[in-house]
Structures are given as structure tokens and as C-alpha cells.
Structure 1
């Protein structure tokens, strides 16, 4: 952890404070959803261009699951990334996280399938997990429709989406598929606990707060007992061996920093090939900051992810 955030990040934090942007935990669910839409939906003229964008509805365990498919130019089959957006399983959608998906599509020369999984509290754990796994299965079964190479299948996501990516990798191991070539976990939620140093050091003042994370978990889980389930808290899995190679991205000024670092360590101890990228001056959410602000660190993180995908 650096002594202070990067100056561009501090400027953003000062702007949010001046605007008196409320903490998610101080809002209703609808209010929090409106806030993230206001903060993260990118104006159309600032959107990163990709070759095509297509909205589909695919079969799910409880009705259709909307997905948004981003395609690069050139002939396929391309690698494919099944992407799960962040937002504490309660807020967010492919629209709020579209800029990062667009950038990843270009950087990795890959098809990105962004999954609009069901949200809590209307659909608590394990509904988002079930949708995420079903979407991954659907992608592997429709390689011809998507013109993708499922031998180069990546599950990826930020925050709660990083949690879902890790959980889908666990489920795929337990259920005998689908085969996943890589799991890309961007400042993931990994454990239903608030006992790390980063939860103390970064409890407030750096956009994502401890209070917000408690609020998200309270809406996601119906009981605290669910929090010890590895499908909610992957760090609590007894055995992490046999999982796909992983990349874990963490940020210094993030309450989730230490659990991400801990998960990378446990994966490595279990014999999984792990790469850990730590951005010590960054805050939670920086990966998608590609327009206002346009962070070099975000561009670097996306480019690094693209290089990993292209090498599969």
C-alpha cells in the first residue's frame, strides 16, 4: 500500500466528496442502482469502438439470462471471455461495465460475453452463481454460433464478478466442466469476513467502504451460514487444487485487497499457476476508469489482461 492514492485518484475522490455522493449503504436498493448507473454509464460518444455489439437472451435455470456480446474485427474463431460485472451482486449491469468489456475485447482480440445475471436481494445467493455457471456452459455449447475457440475460454469479472468467476471455476472442477483455460479475478470479493488489515485501513474514504461491503453481503446472503459456503466465499474452500490458471488483480486502497492477495497465495500453494498484479496507488473500481478519468493504470491493467488472453 502506497502512502497515499495516485494524484488522479485523489482528485476523483475529492470530486466525489465535493458532490456529496452518498455511500451505497445509506441508500435503498433502487437508489444504489440509480447511483451506479449515474456514475458508471459512459456517454455514447466516449464509448470504445468494437466491431459489433449484440444483445441476446440465453436459457437459464430460472428463465432467460440476458447477455451482451462484444466482437472484435477479423476472422475467428476468437478466444472467448465470459464476463461477470461487479456491484456486490446487488447493483450494476452490462451497461455500467460496458467500457471495460469493450476495451478487453480489443486488447485480447477476443469475444466478450457480458452476463446480466439475476441480482439480490430479489434473487439472493446462489441465484447469481447459478446464472453465471449456466451462461458459461451455454457459451461452451455454442462455439459455432459465437465463432469462438472454447479451448481458450476465460471467466473474468471485477469485484462481485471476480467472486463469481472464482466460483464458476470451482463449480466447473466439481461438475466436470466446462473446461476453463483461465480465471481472471479483478479485485475480487473472496470471503464473507471483515477481519483483514485492508478492511481497517481502507474502511472509508476510498469509494468502496466497509459499510458498503457489509450492505452488499447482507443483501446477497439470506443467512450468515451461507457465508461459509465456498460458493459464496471461495477462500473457505478446503481444496483449491486442479483449478485453472489464475490472474488476480488487487488495489492498494481497497477493502478487498488482502482477501484477494490471500486467495492468490492459496491458489499458488495448491499448485495453481497464479499471476498477481498489484496496483498500490489505485482504488476499487479503477479497471473501468478508461474515459473520465482516463487512468494510465487502467489502460495498463486492460492491456495486461489482453496479453494474457492472446497467449492462451
Structure 2
């Protein structure tokens, strides 16, 4: 379908970002971090900054708990931003919305960013954060035995990779909620050809992000934990909810990953948001498709993790 009218207006504003104008730089990529979009924020009963430590790594994080005093399942969330930008504040409206819709605790992780921390360090930090939550470090009202992982874009990549790593070494993960995740480095697929120039996230921008994360020499042959679709086996992974956007260069790789997960025997819910661009789910309170994606994730999180346990 045609690009959504409201999305078109937002897209024109996004194109003014320094991030969109080559040459790409880390400084320009992080400009928007200090100017988060003014989307409405759900009123969550408890929001507090915490620290998670495991295996010699310490990660700042933020806990969102919609019902203190009740032990809730937890979604450990990793923000997008090409591994280079994004932080707890840029994704605060989205993480609040997920906590409200799913009635789960959400732990948003402030993992180390690239290029200062290249692969595998961001992934190892994210896995350590999940292990810390499983150990109970998010508090007594957070059920470390019922954990999901999730994220958008590069955060979706990290969530998928954490699920792969946790399959081998733990902890047990009950669901993965992936919003238009980065899954591979195939810049020649159809969605890159169709959508890689005019819809905010571009092919050259995405290659630059990959270079910051894995290094220029590894972009075309990345480690399978950097590009999860390249894993030798995708069997035995937690149920996945994957949301893609019609006008997103990452659309085809995420949908191919959903297909391969299903072929490997995993439960997968895939939904393409027609008329949407990369990043649409963060446009909370503005785009109906954002609410629809969050509601889908909430339904599947509840299905996989179960309901709250009364105190």
C-alpha cells in the first residue's frame, strides 16, 4: 500500500536529521539522542534506574514495573540505533508502552555502544544483563524464571543473538520480541533495492552501522552471532514475534529469518506493517500501527510467559 500519510510527514522531518546526510559520523548519529521525539509516555507505577552485574560486566538499566508488589514476568529490552546511538531515554516511550500493554516488567538495558565497543562486546553485555535478571537482580517483584528478550532494529539483532547464545549457555528465555530486527548483511536483497534510499534508513547508512559494529573487513562475512540468520542451526529457540515494515530495507531479511526459524521447528508470529517505515513502533501515540505492533507483542508475550503471580 502507499506510504501512510502521517508517516510521510514524520519521514520528512526525520530526513532533516544530521544522521541522514553523508558522510556518516558517530557524533551526528548521536545528535538525536539529546533530542528524543516528544511522544506521549504511559504512566507506569514504578520506573527506576538500576544496575545489573554479571561475569565481570556492569550495565546500567531501567526497570518499568506496572504493578509493584506483584511478581511479573519480565522483558529484557535492547534499544535500537545501529549499535551506535540510542539510549534509555530515546526508547522510554516505547518501553513504557510495552510494559503497559503486556503487563510485564520491562528492563531496558543501556549496553555499550559501537564503535567504542565492537562485536562481540555489546552482545556479551546484553547476555550478561539477561543472566543478571535471571539471578533476581531486577528485584523481588520480577520473575527471573520467566524472561523474554526484545528490541528494535539493532536491539532486535542483539535480542536474537542473545537467544542463540542463551540456547547454549542459559539462562532459559521464554520469548523473543523482535521489531524490524537487523539480521544479515545482504544489501542486495529486494527490500534494500526498493527501500534503501528514500525512507530514512538507507543502504549506505546501514553498511556504515555494520562497519562500526563488526569492522569494515567483517561486514560481508559476519560472525553468526552478529548476523543470526547465518547460525548453523536455528532449532530449539524460544517462540518469536517478528514485526517488519513495508518500506524498510530490513524487511526481507527479518521475514527470511522468521521463515527459517519456523522451518527449524520454532513457533513464529510474523506481522508486516503495511505503509510503515523503519522505526515506526517507537512513534507511540502518533501512529496506530505502533499501537498495533505493541499489542501483538503483548499478546504473544502473555502467551509465552503467562500471567502475573499475585503477591
Q: What TM-score results when the alignment is normalised by the length of structure 2?
A: 0.92
**Cα distance between partner residues in 2 of 1:15 and 1:143:** 40
Per mean C-alpha deviation after superposition, the further-off stretch among 276-285 and 74-83 is 74-83
Per the alignment, residue 178 of structure 2 pairs with: 185
Per the alignment, residue 210 of structure 1 pairs with: 203
1:134 aligns with 2:128: yes
Deviations 1:194-236 (A, max 9, x none): 1210011001111111111011001111353374311100010
1:256 aligns with 2:227: no
Contact map agreement 1:41 1:97 (CA 8 A) in 2:
no
Per the alignment, residue 222 of structure 1 pairs with: 215
Per the alignment, residue 116 of structure 1 pairs with: 110
1:308 aligns with 2:300: yes
What is the Cα deviation at residue 13 of structure 1? 1.9
Q: What TM-score results when the alignment is normalised by the length of structure 1?
A: 0.92
Per the alignment, residue 32 of structure 2 pairs with: 35
SS in 2 for 1:129: helix
Aligned CA RMSD, in angstroms, stands at: 1.8
What is the Cα deviation at residue 308 of structure 1? 1.7
Contact map agreement 2:134 2:171 (CA 8 A) in 1:
yes
Per the alignment, residue 194 of structure 2 pairs with: 201
Contact map agreement 2:63 2:138 (CA 8 A) in 1:
no
**Cα distance between partner residues in 1 of 2:225 and 2:129:** 16
Contact map agreement 2:156 2:181 (CA 8 A) in 1:
yes
Pairing partner for 2:79 from 81, 85, 102: 85
What is the Cα deviation at residue 83 of structure 1? 0.1
What is the Cα deviation at residue 90 of structure 1? 0.6
- Which ranges in structure 1 are unaligned for 5 or more consecutive residues? none
1:67 aligns with 2:61: yes
Contact map agreement 1:24 1:212 (CA 8 A) in 2:
no
What is the Cα deviation at residue 25 of structure 1? 4.5
**Cα distance between partner residues in 1 of 2:21 and 2:156:** 19
Per mean C-alpha deviation after superposition, the further-off stretch among 155-164 and 202-211 is 202-211
Contact map agreement 2:24 2:208 (CA 8 A) in 1:
no
What is the Cα deviation at residue 61 of structure 1? 5.0
**Cα distance between partner residues in 1 of 2:96 and 2:17:** 30
What is the Cα deviation at residue 34 of structure 1? 1.2
**Cα distance between partner residues in 2 of 1:215 and 1:275:** 30
1:238 aligns with 2:235: no
Per the alignment, residue 56 of structure 1 pairs with: 50
Per the alignment, residue 309 of structure 2 pairs with: none
Contact map agreement 1:77 1:149 (CA 8 A) in 2:
yes
Deviations 1:240-282 (A, max 9, x none): 0011111111000000000000000000000001110110211
